[in-house]
A and B are shown apart, each in its own frame.
Chain A
């Protein structure tokens, strides 16, 4: 680690760019109309080279219309604009006319495409409203503070004091100074792990605490169904991302949107895992679509600027570790349903969303330590490490000119397949960072140990049988648990020293305290406790959750030491 280290009391750090109006996202928002127009033109250009003649374009349009009409009937959402049906019906009759009249209609395939892309681009586009940002910044700490003040044992703290405790609870590790500096040297893409819907709010807030200008990110259109959330998100730089739309035209528009935004300097957040981790394990595979836009933007920079002045794009992995996850129950149920198919009987656990959310926030903020955030190594778009000034170095420490990756026979050229392979390489480097900068929390260690002990005890059972074992049968002697936690703690320490994982400070405590701390944190939120202690034994009220939290340490090869 280089540069200065920050204490929890230093946060929030001063903004690296003082005037909010100078932030790239604010500039982008001010130039919204031109921006959308640029996106549109580039999508149309690209699609025109892809669908060269009228016939193939018409076939593509037919596909889009077909998929959109299915979406409208099967998955309509509140967030859909009211004229959605009307628009697509209109498109349909235009297409029919085109087919019937052949060269005689008053409009063309290209014009239809233009209309569709225009609609998509205007739907996706987000904006950044300085006033809304100021409002959120004033409200959020108050909100956190109020809940904190109401939480047990915190009655007498002042609001300011409470805000401070939030920072104490969220240890941030990583080379913060370098990240801050790089954000002024180029465009930054933060790629966090994805475990919870809380992640985007959490990451956005943490980046703000680091004093970085606001980031733009793609938020699921479904989140815009919720009024207050929609109000803020649509004004704080989020752009809309509709997972129902999988047609080529939409995906091209979305990717181009992201590429142009990055080219215009907007720092962005991508969740490369795509959706939240269902099993609770760290990502092992990434969705490369949006990630590829970072590479594309970098290549275009080299096309449009002379080598020395071409802006650089930096990718920064971010690992969020929660002691407990809001949606844990639902996620693990999804996962088991998927892996076990019909073998696993899923009990329904529907949320009453707002109540659950408030309750979660309460628990979250009154827990003694609810999460940790760590940043990995800043890298270029091929996953090479970069120094504080943004220069790239390969795995041998040789200084690298990133432009050269895009050069064949001395010329900068386009090659989709090559760039897709490069994106895979970047993805592998991000995954590697996720594993190495993962912070082992007490709760994860204890859950992992206990579940692996159960697996060993019921060695003849498959996972699904084990998860359905009657809970009163589940019981392990406390002393044995202590012994095994101790063994694994030492193994984690060894891995930490080899640079294979990070560990939270609590892991240096003695084992009794580790178990107590882990259990306290994990049981804080869930109504049925993943771990229980009855005198001399450890048991569980909810094996699926125990399994979920256990999965966080799956893949490090720790199980062989049980």
Chain B
């Protein structure tokens, strides 16, 4: 029996990369909301210089995706996710399985004006929580891992994690994605996978900034290791288990994004350290850097919960309050240290 095509929402570089991976195992329907981009894609079939797989067809509407696909991967930045899912909702049914790829959080309040003392944590939602809230879909999953879009497009080997409370969703995700160059792991800890994917963004940004100062591998290793510890504490405050932070989507993704100029978050940090203004960087980048949003939301979370997060606090000052990076490094280095790997006792 011929399988239904798999749907992908969003033809940004990650959406295209995922679509290409899925296309190796079967047909894919790709939807892009911007009509010009959509037309261009159908004509040229190229995303950032890489070819779209011949098994990929462009879809004209969300409705078409819903009626043709059982398995759907949205790859839409967190700030547009809610609108997309609300538009999508009328067509979705309980026999749809949705595995999102977004490494970001949604807030039910305005993150630029919110007061950390009065926010409610339940108003900060992961994408899977948003899907459950806004649609009739129950079988929801998430993927995260060291998956730099351009390397995936370039067909280099990589791995990812599919998370869902349903084994069936993990199974469907694995079957659809796995190939000789793409390993797919599974876990039921969806909250942990979503949070680790989100929180690593600001650590990547800090890594970029360190690199911008010309620091080498020792400093990066220090940053990654302590960055992960901090992520575990913040994740813990939000109810996640530490295990996922130590896996492919946690430390794995952290190493990739903290080492690569190809990572958007990394390059934002790098350019800030080189003295560019945030606003200019964001305009020239064209695509969304989730790290900047994560930093704002992360700051609200740690201020609200009193979690000690010196790295986040300092890098926030660098990005939004023009604290010079060299002074920021001094502040971080002076921070009193505790026992090594103490987070394992959480």
Binding site for B on A (CB under 8 A): 382, 394, 396, 398, 400-402, 404-405, 407-410, 415, 417-418, 421-422, 425
Sampled A-B contacts (7; CB under 8 Å): A394-B136, A396-B135, A408-B70, A408-B97, A415-B168, A417-B168, A418-B167
Residues of A within 8 A of B47 (CB): none
Whether the Cβ atoms of A404 and B95 lie closer than 8 Å is yes
Whole-angstrom distance between the Cβ of B226 and the nearest chain A Cβ: 36
Whether the Cβ atoms of B168 and A405 lie closer than 8 Å is no
Contact of B94 among A400, A415, A417, A421 (CB under 8 A): A400
Whether the Cβ atoms of A405 and B166 lie closer than 8 Å is no
Q: How far is the CA of A410 from the CA of B138 in the complex (A)?
A: 16
**How many residues of B are counted as interface, with CB atoms below 8 angstroms from the partner's CB atoms?**
20
Contacts A410-B4, A417-B167, A421-B166 given: A396-B136 contact, CB under 8 Å?
A: yes
Q: How far is the CA of A425 from the CA of B93 in the complex (A)?
A: 17
Whether the Cβ atoms of A398 and B95 lie closer than 8 Å is no
Residues of A within 8 A of B93 (CB): 400-401, 404
Residues of B within 8 A of A404 (CB): 93-95
Contacts A398-B136, A425-B138 given: A408-B95 contact, CB under 8 Å?
A: yes
Which B residues from 56 to 73 make CB contacts under 8 A with A? 70-71
Is B25 positioned at the interface, with any CB of A under 8 Å from its CB?
no
Q: How far is the CA of A418 from the CA of B139 in the complex (A)?
A: 9
Residues of B within 8 A of A421 (CB): 165-166
Q: How far is the CA of A409 from the CA of B134 in the complex (A)?
A: 22
Q: How far is the CA of A398 from the CA of B66 in the complex (A)?
A: 15
Whole-angstrom distance between the Cβ of A410 and the nearest chain B Cβ: 6
Q: How far is the CA of A394 from the CA of B166 in the complex (A)?
A: 20
Whether the Cβ atoms of B134 and A396 lie closer than 8 Å is yes
A402 nearest in chain B by CB position: B94
Residues of A within 8 A of B136 (CB): 394, 396, 398, 400
B3 nearest in chain A by CB position: A409
Q: How far is the CA of A485 from the CA of B121 in the complex (A)?
A: 32
Q: How far is the CA of A401 from the CA of B3 in the complex (A)?
A: 22
Is B89 positioned at the interface, with any CB of A under 8 Å from its CB?
yes
Whole-angstrom distance between the Cβ of B213 and the nearest chain A Cβ: 48
Which B residues from 88 to 110 make CB contacts under 8 A with A? 89-90, 93-95, 97
Write the B109-147 contact mask toward A (1 if CB under 8 angstroms, else 0).
Answer: 000000000000000000000000011101100000000
Residues of B within 8 A of A400 (CB): 93-94, 136
Residues of B within 8 A of A382 (CB): 94, 138
Residues of A within 8 A of B167 (CB): 415, 417-418
Whole-angstrom distance between the Cβ of B207 and the nearest chain A Cβ: 38
Whole-angstrom distance between the Cβ of B98 and the nearest chain A Cβ: 13
B175 nearest in chain A by CB position: A409
Q: How far is the CA of A401 from the CA of B94 in the complex (A)?
A: 8
Judged by DSSP, the binding face of B is loop
Whole-angstrom distance between the Cβ of B93 and the nearest chain A Cβ: 5
Residues of A within 8 A of B90 (CB): 398
Residues of B within 8 A of A409 (CB): 3-4, 70-71, 172
Judged by DSSP, the binding face of A is mixed
Whole-angstrom distance between the Cβ of A183 and the nearest chain B Cβ: 25
Whether the Cβ atoms of A405 and B4 lie closer than 8 Å is no
Residue of A394, A401, A408, A422 with most partner-chain B CB within 10 A: A408
Q: How far is the CA of A418 from the CA of B97 in the complex (A)?
A: 12
Write the B145-172 contact mask toward A (1 if CB under 8 angstroms, else 0).
Answer: 0000000000000000000011110001
Q: How far is the CA of A405 from the CA of B166 in the complex (A)?
A: 12
Whether the Cβ atoms of A408 and B172 lie closer than 8 Å is yes
Residues of B within 8 A of A402 (CB): 94
Whole-angstrom distance between the Cβ of B239 and the nearest chain A Cβ: 16
A424 nearest in chain B by CB position: B165
Q: Could you list 14 further interchain pairs (A-B, Cβ under 8 angstroms) beyond the known A396-B89, A400-B136, A404-B93?
A: A396-B135, A396-B136, A398-B89, A398-B90, A401-B93, A401-B94, A409-B70, A409-B71, A410-B4, A417-B166, A418-B139, A421-B165, A422-B138, A425-B138
Whether the Cβ atoms of A418 and B94 lie closer than 8 Å is no
Whole-angstrom distance between the Cβ of A382 and the nearest chain B Cβ: 8
Contact of A418 among B71, B135, B166 (CB under 8 A): B166
Q: How far is the CA of A403 from the CA of B88 in the complex (A)?
A: 21
Residues of A within 8 A of B139 (CB): 418
B96 nearest in chain A by CB position: A404
Residues of B within 8 A of A418 (CB): 139, 166-168
Q: How far is the CA of A402 from the CA of B94 in the complex (A)?
A: 8
Residues of A within 8 A of B135 (CB): 396
Q: How far is the CA of A394 from the CA of B131 in the complex (A)?
A: 13
Whether the Cβ atoms of B70 and A410 lie closer than 8 Å is yes
Whole-angstrom distance between the Cβ of B73 and the nearest chain A Cβ: 15
Residues of A within 8 A of B97 (CB): 408
Q: How far is the CA of A410 from the CA of B172 in the complex (A)?
A: 13
Q: How far is the CA of A404 from the CA of B138 in the complex (A)?
A: 11
Whole-angstrom distance between the Cβ of B234 and the nearest chain A Cβ: 26
Whole-angstrom distance between the Cβ of B79 and the nearest chain A Cβ: 22
Residues of A within 8 A of B3 (CB): 409
Q: How far is the CA of A408 from the CA of B70 in the complex (A)?
A: 8
Contacts A396-B136, A398-B136, A425-B138 given: A407-B165 contact, CB under 8 Å?
A: no
Q: How far is the CA of A417 from the CA of B167 in the complex (A)?
A: 7
Residues of B within 8 A of A407 (CB): 94-95
Q: How far is the CA of A421 from the CA of B168 in the complex (A)?
A: 11
Q: How far is the CA of A409 from the CA of B94 in the complex (A)?
A: 12
Residue of B4, B71, B95, B166 with most partner-chain A CB within 10 A: B95
Whole-angstrom distance between the Cβ of A554 and the nearest chain B Cβ: 21
Q: How far is the CA of A404 from the CA of B96 in the complex (A)?
A: 8
Q: How far is the CA of A301 from the CA of B4 in the complex (A)?
A: 26
Whole-angstrom distance between the Cβ of B176 and the nearest chain A Cβ: 11
B93 nearest in chain A by CB position: A404
Q: How far is the CA of A82 from the CA of B93 in the complex (A)?
A: 55
Whole-angstrom distance between the Cβ of A406 and the nearest chain B Cβ: 8
4 interchain residue pairs of minimum CB distance: A404-B95, A407-B95, A404-B94, A405-B94
Residues of B within 8 A of A410 (CB): 4, 70, 95
Residue of B3, B4, B135, B168 with most partner-chain A CB within 10 A: B168
Contact of B168 among A396, A398, A401, A408 (CB under 8 A): A408
Residues of B within 8 A of A422 (CB): 138
Write the B1-23 contact mask toward A (1 if CB under 8 angstroms, else 0).
Answer: 00110000000000000000000
Contact of B138 among A398, A405, A417 (CB under 8 A): A405
Q: How far is the CA of A52 from the CA of B4 in the complex (A)?
A: 34
Q: How far is the CA of A408 from the CA of B94 in the complex (A)?
A: 10
Residues of A within 8 A of B4 (CB): 409-410
Q: How far is the CA of A402 from the CA of B95 in the complex (A)?
A: 9
Whole-angstrom distance between the Cβ of B246 and the nearest chain A Cβ: 24
B167 nearest in chain A by CB position: A417
Residue of B94, B134, B135 with most partner-chain A CB within 10 A: B94
Residues of B within 8 A of A396 (CB): 89, 134-136
Whole-angstrom distance between the Cβ of B135 and the nearest chain A Cβ: 8
Q: How far is the CA of A418 from the CA of B166 in the complex (A)?
A: 6
Q: How far is the CA of A409 from the CA of B68 in the complex (A)?
A: 11
Whole-angstrom distance between the Cβ of B196 and the nearest chain A Cβ: 22
